[in-house]
Amino acid sequence: MNYSLNIACQTSALSKLRIFLHQALNEVRLNEIEKHQVTLAVEEVCSNLIIHSHGCNPEDSIQLEIKNSDQKLIVEISDQGQAFNILDYKAPDLKKVMVEKRKGGLGIILVRKIMDEIEFESENGTNTCRLIKWLHS
Cα(41)–Cα(103) distance, rounded to whole angstroms?
17
Q: Which domains, ranges and CATH numbers included, belong to the chain?
A: 2-134 (3.30.565.10)
Q: What is the pLDDT of residues 12-48, one digit of tens each?
A: 999 999 999 999 999 898 999 999 999 999 999 999 9
- Res 105: pLDDT: 59
For the beta carbon of residue 125, count every other beta carbon within 10 angstroms. Answer: 9
31 to each of 40, 57, 79, 104, 129, how far by Cα in Å? 14, 35, 29, 28, 24
pLDDT, averaged across the chain: 87
